[in-house]
Structure 1
Amino acid sequence: MVGALRRRLVLAGGDYPLLYPVVVLGGSTAVTITAVLQRYPFDRPWWVGAAVVCALTTLVLDLTVAKSPLCAVPVMLSTVCFLMVPVPTDVAPLQLALVTAIAAGMYALRTGLVVAAVSTAVIVVFGVAGTLESPAVYLLAVACGWLIGYMVLIQKCLADNQARELRARADRAAGEERRRIAREIHDVIAHSLSITMLNVTGARRALEQDDDRAEALEALTDAERQGRQAMTEIRNIVHVLGGEDSPTAPVPGATDLMALIDDYRKARIEIDFRLDGDLDAVSAPVGAALYRIVQESLANVVKHSVTQRAAVAVSVDDDVVVCVRNPCPENRRPAPDGTGVKGMMQRAELLGGQLEASCSDGTWSVRGTMPTFATSHQGVAS
């Protein structure tokens, strides 16, 4: 039963907290009881009875009809019935101030103004008739009620807007995090599978064509190492997703480029690597992005190039410039459902740089430019 009453009160309060309908309905009940006691003994009991019936009708509507302006009508009728039996220092008109505040706080501006106008008219009519003492005081109460209710409505609208903005910001942050994780998983899997498949293919050919078990063993050992490394990186990403506190392996950076190039060379990819500048001068977030861009570009060489040959050039100065070129057919275009090129572009843009990928004169070219240093929050984003 308590649960049912709580649900009814929540219904009466609309979008407001539970305390709001409790205070409003409690105040309205207190005013009604006081107005009844002021008229005891009942010289005209039918008016008092009608006022009580209207007040009870309002209570029933509040607990059964969600946020309806119709709830204001019985309150006004109840006040009119009370005013038909005038008493000194009457509290019944305070019902009008209360219902005006509720209408201004819960309904549209036009509805609140209509309720305020009707309440004002009731007070003016009985004031002119001489059955209501100090009508100016009650008019002031109605005006204050509308003002307070409207201020509450504005505050609620501001709070709702802020909540929507926070939800939108959280959704954007979650989307960025999903894209970041997708880039990491894509780069790890594409790189590791590319080298693993090359090594497995090399081992098969060594056994089939030359019966060179030593070369095949070396290729398979390297494939196993790449597989274990990929599993470690994927496990680290899963730990981040799960929110675990276990330490993760360091993120690869600019100084790991040579090891990356060597991995592809061992997998029989011809790579011409040229470096101008000091990779140690590159900040960690830029180094991680540089590593992933080269990694993804070389993985694309394995997947799309028929010559298995590429040229990698890295220049470190005020900016870090990376360029990866490999032969490709003239009609080479990025796959419409691919995420590799888009992921590389996002990495560069998050660090304040840019990246372009195009095919011209039979050469597929990926060229990215990034600042040598990045702020801490850019590093997190990358």
Structure 2
Amino acid sequence: MTHFTAGVGSGLRRRIERAGGDYPPLYPAVILSASVVVTVISVAQRYPFDRIGWLIPAVAFAVVTLTLDLTLPPTSYACFGVITSTVCFLMIPTPSDAAPLQLVLMTAIGAAMYPLRVGLVVGAVCIAVIVAFGAVGHLEAPALYGLGVACGWLIGYMVLIQKRLADNQARVLRARADRAASDERRRIAREIHDVIAHSLSITMLNVTGARRALEQDRDIDEAVDALADAERQGRQAMSEIRSIVHVLGAQTGQSESTSPPPTGNDLDQLVDDYRKAGVDIDYSVAGDMDSLTDPVGAAVYRIAQESLANVVKHSTGKRARLAVTVGESVSIEIDNPAPCGRRPTCDGTGIDGMTQRAALLGGTLETFHADDTWSVRAALPARTTSEGIRSKGVSV
């Protein structure tokens, strides 16, 4: 019995939700309950039922309409079924009649659930019914009922406007969440690309150097040093990737430590790694790297890291020039050989990532090919704060 009752209740709840269309279940539940109450009161007012010929059709139209509301998707025909039921009730005049309250409810439903034209038609028909029965003397105070119908339409239309505003706000929030998720995916892809491209470039150079040392020179010590550098780069890459994954899955209360983001002072180690791997780098720094804020220092490092990785992947000669100048702004210049007619073939991910990093800080980055040289030029503000970056929804 308990399961049967629960099943009936669940089925009725689903039908009420469907009757309300896009509205919360409370709205159709209140309207349908009020309609049932008005119908019962209207029947009771006509006791002792001496004009059964009008009462039966009135109740029948009300019951059929309620059944259709609970079984079919919302339709404006239900409003006219209830209006017909009200007309039948009004053919049996009674003092302080409750039947016209059905017209108030139907006008509110028509304005709230259907297009404006349909809502106006429902309201006009309800007003016409009240005027007609008031004119023949079957309805007391028709003006009061007419005012009720007008108020019902206004309330229903206000509910419709409120629903549309809520729907618009929900769409805006979904679009904002989608943009935030897309920005986060691009940021994660940029971070992973920078880490993997840099680490694999140096690792491959070291492995290649070790192989050549063994094949050509039989120099075991040099090969071991190259393999040790490759191992260190691999471990560093794993650590950085682990940090990124940790940030993605971080939960309150987790105590696992993550490695800090790189800074401008890490450029020395970056350049040294590439030099050990066989890349000839002319490196110079002018100004105080310690004066850079963390976001700017991280951007300088990542731009240099991606540019040097591109040197390994695309340059005709394993050499490059890296110059960083720190003042009121930070300028980064990277040049490497690239003969005319052979523009570096890139998938765009690295250049796009560098450009986005600069733009997020309020800076610029451009790349160009001239005089057998591929060049990267970046200009960043030196005083950008991490709070300003976070306000844009981007982590350092």
Map of 1:1-382 to 2, 5 A cutoff? Answer: 1-244=8-251, 245=254, 246-333=256-343, 335=345, 337-375=347-385, 376-378=387-389, 381=394, 382=396
Does the CA contact (< 8 Å) of 2:90 and 2:99 recur in 1?
A: yes
Query: Which one is further off, 61-70 or 80-89?
Result: 61-70
Contact 1:48 1:82 in 2 (8 A): yes
What 5-or-longer segments of structure 1 have no aligned partner?
Answer: none
Partner Cα separation in structure 2 for residue 110 and residue 271 of structure 1 = 75
Matching residue's letter, 1:180:
R
Matched-pair contact (CA < 8 Å) for 2:338–2:344? no
Distance 2:9 2:335 in 1: 73
Shift of 1:247: 2.4
**One-letter amino acid matched to 1:378:** I
- With 17-26 and 293-302 compared, the bigger mean Cα shift is at 17-26
Q: How does the TM-score come out when normalised to structure 1?
A: 0.98
Structure 1 residue 331: deviation in Å? Answer: 2.7
Query: Could you tell me how far apart the structure 1 residues matched to 2:342 and 2:170 are?
Result: 47
- Cα 1:51–1:336 shift into 2, 3 Å: farther
SS at match of 1:275: strand
* SS of equivalent to 2:59: helix
Task: Give the whole-Å Cα distance in 2 for the aligned partners of 1:61 and 1:95.
Answer: 16
Q: Name the SS of the counterpart of 2:325 in structure 1.
A: strand
Say if 2:288 and 2:326, in contact at 8 Å, map to a contact too: yes
Find the aligned partners of 2:27 and 2:344 in 1 and give their Cα distance.
59
AA matched with 1:371: P
Per-residue CA deviation, residues 117-157 of structure 1 (Å, 9 max, x unaligned), is 01000001111111110000000100000010011111111
Deviations 1:289-324 (A, max 9, x none): 111100000000000012100000111111111111
Secondary structure of the residue aligned to 2:22 is coil
CA distance in 1 between partners of 2:388 and 2:70 (Å): 51
Q: Could you list the runs of 4 or more consecutive aligned residues of structure 1 that deviate by over 6 angstroms after TM superposition?
A: none
Q: Is the 8 A contact 2:314 2:345 kept in 1?
A: no
Query: What is the aligned-residue RMSD (CA, Å)?
Result: 1.1
Shift of 1:255: 1.1
Report how many residues are paired.
Answer: 382
| % identical equivalent positions | 63
Q: Which runs of 5+ in 2 are unaligned?
A: 1-7
Instruction: Give the whole-Å Cα distance in 2 for the aligned partners of 1:193 and 1:280.
Output: 29
Q: Give the Cα–Cα distance (whole angstroms) in 1 for the partners of residues 209 and 200 of structure 2.
A: 14
CA distances 1:202-229 after superposition (whole Å, capped 9, x unpaired): 1111111111111111110000000000
- 1:253 and 1:287 in contact (8 A); partners too: yes
| Counterpart Cα distance in 1 of 2:245 and 2:224 | 31
Opposite residue 278 of structure 1, the aligned amino acid is: D
SS of 1:173's partner is: helix
Question: Relative to structure 1, is the Cα distance of residues 279 and 140 closer, same or farther in structure 2, using a 3 angstrom cutoff?
Answer: same
Q: Counterpart of 2:149 in structure 1: which amino acid?
A: V
Structure 1 residue 338 displacement after superposition: 3.2
Alignment check: 8 A CA contact 1:35 1:92 kept: yes
Whole-angstrom distance in 2 between the partners of 1:39 and 1:226? 92
Instruction: Answer yes or no: is the 8 Å Cα contact 2:315–2:344 preserved in 1.
Output: no
Between 1:61-70 and 1:131-140, the stretch displaced more is 61-70
Residues 344-382 of structure 1 deviation map (CA, whole Å, 9 limit, x = unaligned): 001111111111011111100011111112231415615
- The answer on whether the counterparts of 1:44 and 1:85 sit within 8 Å (CA) in structure 2 is yes
Cα gap change, 1:336 to 1:280, in 2 (>3 Å): closer
Letter in 2 for 1:344: M
| Matched letter for residue 188 of structure 2 | I
Distance 1:55 1:150 in 2: 24
Distance 1:143 1:317 in 2: 71
Q: What per-residue deviation string (whole Å, max 9, x for no partner) do you get for residues 83-133 of structure 1?
A: 000100101000000010011111111111111001000001111111110
For 1:350 and 1:334, locate their aligned partners in 2 and report how far apart those are by CA, in whole Å.
25
- The one-letter code sitting in structure 1 at the alignment partner of 2:89 is F
- In structure 2, what is the Cα distance between the partners aligned to 1:54 and 1:333? 80
Matched residue type, 2:198: H
Distance (whole Å) between structure 2 residues aligned to residue 148 and residue 335 of structure 1? 64
Q: How far off is 1:41 after superposition?
A: 0.6
Please give the per-residue CA displacement for 1:229-268, whole angstroms capped at 9, x wherever unaligned: 0011111111122234332110011111111111101111
Shift of 1:286: 1.0
CA distance in 1, matches of 2:384, 2:117: 53
CA displacement at 1:336 relative to structure 2: 6.0
Q: Relative to 1, partners in 2 of residues 1:198 and 1:326: Cα closer, same or farther, differing over 3 Å?
A: same
Structure 1 Cα separation of the partners of residues 346 and 78 of structure 2? 58
C-alpha distance in 1 between matches for 2:354 and 2:339? 22
Alpha carbons 1:334, 1:341 under 8 Å: kept:
no
